[in-house]
Amino acid sequence: MHKVLIIDDSDINLTLIKALVLKLGECEPVLFEHPLKALEWCREQVPDLVIVDYMMPDMDGLRFIAAFRALHGRTEIPVLMITANDQKDVRYEALLGGANDFLTKPIDRVEFSARVRNMLALRTGQKFLADRAAFLAEKVDERTREIRERERELIVRISRAAEFRDPETGAHIQRMAHYSEIIARGLDLAPATSRLILQAAPMHDVGKIGIRDHILLKPGRLTPEEFAVMKRHAEFGYELLKDSGSEIMQAGAEIALTHHEKYDGSGYPRGLRGNAIPLFGRIVAVADVFDALTSERPYKKAWPLDEALRFLEQGRGRHFDPLCVEAFLAGWEEVLEVRHRFQDEAVATI
Protein backbone atom coordinates (compact mmCIF):
# COMPACT_ATOMS: atom_id res chain seq x y z
CA MET A 1 0.00 0.00 0.00
CA HIS A 2 1.47 3.34 -1.06
CA LYS A 3 0.83 6.32 1.16
CA VAL A 4 0.05 9.25 -1.12
CA LEU A 5 0.11 12.63 0.57
CA ILE A 6 -2.11 15.17 -1.19
CA ILE A 7 -2.03 18.85 -0.31
CA ASP A 8 -4.37 21.31 -1.96
CA ASP A 9 -6.29 24.17 -0.40
CA SER A 10 -9.21 23.56 -2.72
CA ASP A 11 -11.75 21.00 -1.61
CA ILE A 12 -12.79 20.06 -5.08
CA ASN A 13 -9.23 19.38 -6.18
CA LEU A 14 -8.51 17.30 -3.08
CA THR A 15 -11.60 15.25 -3.79
CA LEU A 16 -10.75 14.81 -7.44
CA ILE A 17 -7.14 13.80 -6.78
CA LYS A 18 -8.19 11.45 -4.02
CA ALA A 19 -10.70 9.79 -6.35
CA LEU A 20 -8.08 9.42 -9.08
CA VAL A 21 -5.51 8.03 -6.65
CA LEU A 22 -8.01 5.49 -5.32
CA LYS A 23 -8.76 4.40 -8.88
CA LEU A 24 -5.09 3.49 -9.30
CA GLY A 25 -5.39 0.88 -6.57
CA GLU A 26 -2.80 -0.06 -3.92
CA CYS A 27 -2.86 3.54 -2.71
CA GLU A 28 -3.89 5.13 0.54
CA PRO A 29 -4.51 8.87 0.04
CA VAL A 30 -3.79 11.18 2.97
CA LEU A 31 -5.39 14.61 2.48
CA PHE A 32 -4.45 18.01 3.81
CA GLU A 33 -5.88 21.43 3.03
CA HIS A 34 -3.10 23.20 4.91
CA PRO A 35 0.55 22.69 3.98
CA LEU A 36 1.71 23.35 7.55
CA LYS A 37 -0.55 20.60 8.89
CA ALA A 38 0.82 18.31 6.19
CA LEU A 39 4.38 19.11 7.23
CA GLU A 40 3.51 18.27 10.81
CA TRP A 41 2.19 14.92 9.65
CA CYS A 42 5.41 14.39 7.67
CA ARG A 43 7.50 14.69 10.81
CA GLU A 44 6.04 11.41 12.06
CA GLN A 45 5.08 9.72 8.80
CA VAL A 46 6.90 8.97 5.60
CA PRO A 47 4.74 9.23 2.48
CA ASP A 48 5.60 7.30 -0.67
CA LEU A 49 4.50 10.15 -2.91
CA VAL A 50 3.62 13.78 -2.34
CA ILE A 51 1.20 15.60 -4.61
CA VAL A 52 1.18 19.28 -3.78
CA ASP A 53 -0.63 22.25 -5.27
CA TYR A 54 1.44 25.31 -6.05
CA MET A 55 -0.89 28.17 -5.15
CA MET A 56 -1.94 27.92 -1.50
CA PRO A 57 -2.54 30.68 1.05
CA ASP A 58 -0.23 29.89 4.03
CA MET A 59 2.67 28.37 2.20
CA ASP A 60 3.05 27.84 -1.51
CA GLY A 61 4.02 24.52 -3.04
CA LEU A 62 7.64 25.52 -3.60
CA ARG A 63 8.14 26.44 0.03
CA PHE A 64 6.38 23.27 1.08
CA ILE A 65 8.75 21.17 -1.02
CA ALA A 66 11.79 22.97 0.44
CA ALA A 67 10.54 22.40 4.01
CA PHE A 68 9.63 18.79 3.23
CA ARG A 69 13.00 18.04 1.67
CA ALA A 70 14.73 19.51 4.73
CA LEU A 71 13.14 16.86 6.97
CA HIS A 72 15.46 13.98 7.70
CA GLY A 73 15.20 11.13 5.22
CA ARG A 74 12.76 12.91 2.91
CA THR A 75 15.18 13.93 0.16
CA GLU A 76 14.41 11.01 -2.13
CA ILE A 77 10.64 10.78 -1.83
CA PRO A 78 8.96 11.65 -5.13
CA VAL A 79 7.05 14.91 -5.25
CA LEU A 80 4.56 15.93 -7.91
CA MET A 81 3.61 19.57 -8.08
CA ILE A 82 0.31 20.75 -9.50
CA THR A 83 0.34 24.03 -11.37
CA ALA A 84 -1.98 25.84 -13.69
CA ASN A 85 -1.26 25.51 -17.37
CA ASP A 86 0.02 29.10 -17.59
CA GLN A 87 2.58 28.84 -14.79
CA LYS A 88 5.57 27.76 -16.83
CA ASP A 89 8.05 29.71 -14.70
CA VAL A 90 6.68 28.05 -11.56
CA ARG A 91 7.09 24.65 -13.15
CA TYR A 92 10.74 25.31 -13.90
CA GLU A 93 11.27 26.59 -10.39
CA ALA A 94 9.53 23.52 -8.99
CA LEU A 95 11.73 21.14 -10.94
CA LEU A 96 14.85 22.99 -9.81
CA GLY A 97 13.55 23.22 -6.24
CA GLY A 98 13.07 19.52 -5.66
CA ALA A 99 9.84 18.47 -7.39
CA ASN A 100 10.31 15.32 -9.45
CA ASP A 101 7.57 16.11 -11.94
CA PHE A 102 4.49 18.27 -12.31
CA LEU A 103 0.85 18.02 -13.23
CA THR A 104 -1.16 20.73 -14.89
CA LYS A 105 -4.62 21.88 -13.98
CA PRO A 106 -7.22 21.02 -15.05
CA ILE A 107 -6.10 17.53 -14.16
CA ASP A 108 -6.19 14.97 -16.92
CA ARG A 109 -6.71 11.46 -15.68
CA VAL A 110 -4.52 9.72 -18.22
CA GLU A 111 -1.61 12.07 -17.59
CA PHE A 112 -2.22 11.98 -13.86
CA SER A 113 -2.28 8.19 -13.67
CA ALA A 114 0.85 7.78 -15.77
CA ARG A 115 2.86 10.25 -13.73
CA VAL A 116 1.68 8.96 -10.39
CA ARG A 117 2.43 5.40 -11.43
CA ASN A 118 5.92 6.41 -12.57
CA MET A 119 6.60 8.16 -9.31
CA LEU A 120 5.36 5.20 -7.29
CA ALA A 121 7.51 2.84 -9.34
CA LEU A 122 10.47 5.07 -8.52
CA ARG A 123 9.55 4.90 -4.86
CA THR A 124 9.21 1.13 -4.97
CA GLY A 125 12.69 0.95 -6.49
CA GLN A 126 14.07 3.18 -3.77
CA LYS A 127 12.53 1.08 -1.03
CA PHE A 128 13.83 -2.10 -2.59
CA LEU A 129 17.36 -0.69 -2.73
CA ALA A 130 17.10 0.62 0.83
CA ASP A 131 15.93 -2.78 2.11
CA ARG A 132 18.71 -4.46 0.22
CA ALA A 133 21.28 -2.01 1.58
CA ALA A 134 20.03 -2.62 5.12
CA PHE A 135 20.19 -6.37 4.55
CA LEU A 136 23.73 -6.12 3.20
CA ALA A 137 24.83 -3.84 6.03
CA GLU A 138 23.57 -6.42 8.50
CA LYS A 139 25.44 -9.18 6.68
CA VAL A 140 28.60 -7.09 6.65
CA ASP A 141 28.25 -6.46 10.39
CA GLU A 142 27.83 -10.14 10.99
CA ARG A 143 30.89 -11.02 8.92
CA THR A 144 32.89 -8.25 10.54
CA ARG A 145 32.02 -9.64 13.95
CA GLU A 146 33.19 -13.06 12.83
CA ILE A 147 36.46 -11.64 11.50
CA ARG A 148 37.03 -9.71 14.74
CA GLU A 149 36.40 -12.87 16.70
CA ARG A 150 38.89 -14.77 14.57
CA GLU A 151 41.39 -11.95 14.92
CA ARG A 152 41.11 -12.16 18.69
CA GLU A 153 41.56 -15.88 18.54
CA LEU A 154 44.67 -15.51 16.38
CA ILE A 155 46.12 -13.03 18.84
CA VAL A 156 45.59 -15.38 21.73
CA ARG A 157 47.25 -18.15 19.72
CA ILE A 158 50.20 -15.95 18.75
CA SER A 159 50.66 -14.98 22.36
CA ARG A 160 50.56 -18.63 23.36
CA ALA A 161 53.20 -19.50 20.79
CA ALA A 162 55.61 -17.34 22.75
CA GLU A 163 54.34 -18.84 25.95
CA PHE A 164 55.38 -22.34 24.92
CA ARG A 165 58.97 -21.27 24.89
CA ASP A 166 58.80 -18.97 27.86
CA PRO A 167 58.68 -19.68 31.55
CA GLU A 168 56.04 -16.95 31.82
CA THR A 169 52.60 -18.42 32.10
CA GLY A 170 49.34 -17.87 30.32
CA ALA A 171 47.92 -16.48 33.53
CA HIS A 172 50.64 -13.80 33.52
CA ILE A 173 49.53 -12.73 30.08
CA GLN A 174 45.92 -12.48 31.18
CA ARG A 175 46.75 -10.56 34.32
CA MET A 176 49.08 -8.05 32.73
CA ALA A 177 46.55 -7.44 29.93
CA HIS A 178 43.79 -6.76 32.43
CA TYR A 179 46.06 -4.58 34.57
CA SER A 180 46.85 -2.61 31.41
CA GLU A 181 43.16 -2.17 30.77
CA ILE A 182 42.56 -1.00 34.36
CA ILE A 183 45.28 1.63 33.92
CA ALA A 184 43.86 2.72 30.56
CA ARG A 185 40.43 3.23 32.10
CA GLY A 186 42.00 5.07 35.02
CA LEU A 187 43.60 7.42 32.53
CA ASP A 188 40.13 8.12 31.11
CA LEU A 189 40.95 6.66 27.73
CA ALA A 190 37.98 5.90 25.49
CA PRO A 191 36.33 2.52 26.16
CA ALA A 192 37.39 1.32 22.70
CA THR A 193 41.02 2.24 23.46
CA SER A 194 40.92 0.46 26.79
CA ARG A 195 39.53 -2.59 25.01
CA LEU A 196 42.26 -2.32 22.40
CA ILE A 197 45.05 -2.43 24.97
CA LEU A 198 43.39 -5.39 26.66
CA GLN A 199 43.47 -7.26 23.38
CA ALA A 200 46.94 -6.14 22.26
CA ALA A 201 48.91 -6.37 25.52
CA PRO A 202 49.10 -10.19 25.49
CA MET A 203 51.47 -9.90 22.50
CA HIS A 204 54.05 -7.81 24.39
CA ASP A 205 56.60 -10.62 24.66
CA VAL A 206 55.85 -12.44 21.42
CA GLY A 207 59.35 -11.52 20.18
CA LYS A 208 60.78 -14.05 22.65
CA ILE A 209 60.10 -16.60 19.92
CA GLY A 210 63.26 -15.24 18.32
CA ILE A 211 65.50 -15.74 21.37
CA ARG A 212 67.62 -18.87 21.54
CA ASP A 213 66.68 -21.42 24.19
CA HIS A 214 69.99 -21.36 26.05
CA ILE A 215 69.39 -17.69 26.79
CA LEU A 216 65.60 -17.63 27.07
CA LEU A 217 65.44 -20.65 29.34
CA LYS A 218 68.69 -20.11 31.23
CA PRO A 219 68.00 -20.76 34.91
CA GLY A 220 70.64 -18.43 36.27
CA ARG A 221 71.51 -14.79 35.78
CA LEU A 222 72.22 -13.67 32.19
CA THR A 223 75.69 -12.36 31.32
CA PRO A 224 75.76 -8.81 29.87
CA GLU A 225 76.18 -10.32 26.39
CA GLU A 226 73.28 -12.70 26.89
CA PHE A 227 71.14 -9.89 28.26
CA ALA A 228 71.93 -7.82 25.16
CA VAL A 229 70.57 -10.69 23.06
CA MET A 230 67.54 -11.07 25.34
CA LYS A 231 66.71 -7.38 24.94
CA ARG A 232 66.22 -7.93 21.25
CA HIS A 233 62.85 -9.60 21.90
CA ALA A 234 61.31 -6.13 21.88
CA GLU A 235 62.39 -5.50 18.31
CA PHE A 236 61.63 -9.07 17.22
CA GLY A 237 58.06 -8.65 18.50
CA TYR A 238 57.77 -5.37 16.67
CA GLU A 239 59.12 -6.89 13.43
CA LEU A 240 56.67 -9.74 13.72
CA LEU A 241 53.59 -7.57 14.23
CA LYS A 242 54.33 -4.27 12.50
CA ASP A 243 52.62 -3.09 9.30
CA SER A 244 49.59 -5.21 10.01
CA GLY A 245 46.22 -4.03 8.73
CA SER A 246 44.78 -5.01 12.08
CA GLU A 247 44.48 -2.25 14.64
CA ILE A 248 45.10 -4.76 17.41
CA MET A 249 48.28 -6.06 15.76
CA GLN A 250 49.48 -2.49 15.25
CA ALA A 251 48.93 -1.76 18.91
CA GLY A 252 50.65 -5.04 19.74
CA ALA A 253 53.67 -4.04 17.64
CA GLU A 254 53.93 -0.74 19.48
CA ILE A 255 53.62 -2.41 22.86
CA ALA A 256 56.20 -5.09 21.98
CA LEU A 257 58.68 -2.43 20.96
CA THR A 258 58.17 -0.01 23.85
CA HIS A 259 57.16 -1.92 26.98
CA HIS A 260 60.76 -2.02 28.24
CA GLU A 261 61.36 1.68 27.80
CA LYS A 262 61.73 3.60 31.06
CA TYR A 263 60.33 7.02 31.83
CA ASP A 264 63.76 8.48 32.60
CA GLY A 265 65.21 7.27 29.29
CA SER A 266 67.23 4.38 30.76
CA GLY A 267 65.14 1.63 29.14
CA TYR A 268 65.52 -0.28 25.90
CA PRO A 269 65.63 -0.70 22.92
CA ARG A 270 65.63 2.99 22.03
CA GLY A 271 66.11 4.73 25.36
CA LEU A 272 63.04 6.89 24.83
CA ARG A 273 62.21 9.34 27.58
CA GLY A 274 58.92 10.53 29.15
CA ASN A 275 56.02 11.03 26.81
CA ALA A 276 58.23 10.17 23.84
CA ILE A 277 57.43 6.61 24.90
CA PRO A 278 54.07 5.73 23.35
CA LEU A 279 51.28 5.66 25.96
CA PHE A 280 50.53 1.98 25.48
CA GLY A 281 54.20 1.20 26.20
CA ARG A 282 54.11 3.27 29.39
CA ILE A 283 50.92 1.55 30.54
CA VAL A 284 52.10 -1.98 29.80
CA ALA A 285 55.45 -1.29 31.55
CA VAL A 286 53.64 -0.82 34.86
CA ALA A 287 51.31 -3.78 34.32
CA ASP A 288 54.05 -6.15 33.18
CA VAL A 289 56.57 -5.30 35.89
CA PHE A 290 53.98 -5.46 38.66
CA ASP A 291 52.87 -8.90 37.57
CA ALA A 292 56.42 -10.17 37.06
CA LEU A 293 57.34 -9.05 40.59
CA THR A 294 54.30 -10.60 42.23
CA SER A 295 54.54 -13.92 40.35
CA GLU A 296 56.64 -16.88 41.27
CA ARG A 297 59.25 -17.89 38.72
CA PRO A 298 61.64 -20.88 38.59
CA TYR A 299 64.46 -18.56 39.64
CA LYS A 300 62.60 -16.37 42.16
CA LYS A 301 59.84 -16.19 44.68
CA ALA A 302 56.80 -13.96 44.31
CA TRP A 303 57.26 -10.59 45.97
CA PRO A 304 54.72 -9.64 48.61
CA LEU A 305 52.18 -7.14 47.30
CA ASP A 306 53.31 -4.27 49.52
CA GLU A 307 56.91 -4.62 48.34
CA ALA A 308 55.82 -4.65 44.71
CA LEU A 309 53.71 -1.57 45.38
CA ARG A 310 56.68 0.16 46.97
CA PHE A 311 58.71 -0.69 43.88
CA LEU A 312 56.12 1.00 41.66
CA GLU A 313 55.97 4.03 43.96
CA GLN A 314 59.72 4.37 43.95
CA GLY A 315 59.83 3.93 40.20
CA ARG A 316 57.41 6.80 39.58
CA GLY A 317 59.02 9.27 37.17
CA ARG A 318 62.10 7.04 36.89
CA HIS A 319 61.07 3.64 35.58
CA PHE A 320 57.38 4.47 35.21
CA ASP A 321 55.07 7.21 34.00
CA PRO A 322 53.73 8.66 37.28
CA LEU A 323 50.21 8.98 35.85
CA CYS A 324 50.17 5.30 34.90
CA VAL A 325 51.28 4.32 38.41
CA GLU A 326 48.56 6.51 39.89
CA ALA A 327 45.93 5.00 37.62
CA PHE A 328 47.09 1.53 38.62
CA LEU A 329 46.90 2.36 42.32
CA ALA A 330 43.50 3.98 41.86
CA GLY A 331 42.26 0.69 40.42
CA TRP A 332 43.73 -1.40 43.22
CA GLU A 333 40.48 -3.21 44.10
CA GLU A 334 40.15 -4.32 40.50
CA VAL A 335 43.82 -5.31 40.38
CA LEU A 336 43.25 -7.67 43.30
CA GLU A 337 40.17 -9.06 41.62
CA VAL A 338 42.12 -9.79 38.40
CA ARG A 339 44.94 -11.35 40.42
CA HIS A 340 42.42 -13.62 42.09
CA ARG A 341 40.63 -14.46 38.83
CA PHE A 342 43.72 -15.43 36.84
CA GLN A 343 45.87 -17.62 39.04
CA ASP A 344 48.82 -19.48 37.62
CA GLU A 345 47.21 -22.93 37.68
CA ALA A 346 43.88 -22.11 36.08
CA VAL A 347 43.94 -20.12 32.89
CA ALA A 348 40.73 -18.69 31.56
CA THR A 349 40.49 -17.10 28.15
CA ILE A 350 40.29 -13.35 27.76
Partner 1 sequence: MLTPFIIDKAAILERLGGDEEIYAMMLEMFLNDVAGNSAALRTAAASGQAAQLQREAHTLKGLLATFSDDAGSALAYTLEQQARRGEVVDGEAQVTALLARIDEVAAVLRQASGR
Binding of residue 7 to partner 1 (CB under 8 A): no
From 6-14, 42-50, 153-161, 201-209, give the range in contact with partner 1 by CB under 8 A. 6-14
Nearer to partner 1, 84 or 222 (CB): 84
Binding residues with partner 1: total (CB under 8 A): 22
Binding of residue 12 to partner 1 (CB under 8 A): yes
Nearer to partner 1, 23 or 117 (CB): 23
Binding of residue 84 to partner 1 (CB under 8 A): yes
Binding of residue 19 to partner 1 (CB under 8 A): yes
Backbone angles phi, psi at 216, to 5 degrees: -60, -40
| Closest distance of CB 19 from partner 1, Å | 5
| Closest distance of CB 145 from partner 1, Å | 55
Nearer to partner 1, 16 or 248 (CB): 16
Residues within window 90-149 making contact with partner 1, judged by CB under 8 A? 105-110, 113
Binding of residue 89 to partner 1 (CB under 8 A): no
| Closest distance of CB 30 from partner 1, Å | 19
Residues within window 150-169 making contact with partner 1, judged by CB under 8 A? none
Residues that bind partner 1 (CB under 8 A): 9-13, 15-16, 19-20, 23, 55, 57, 84-86, 105-110, 113
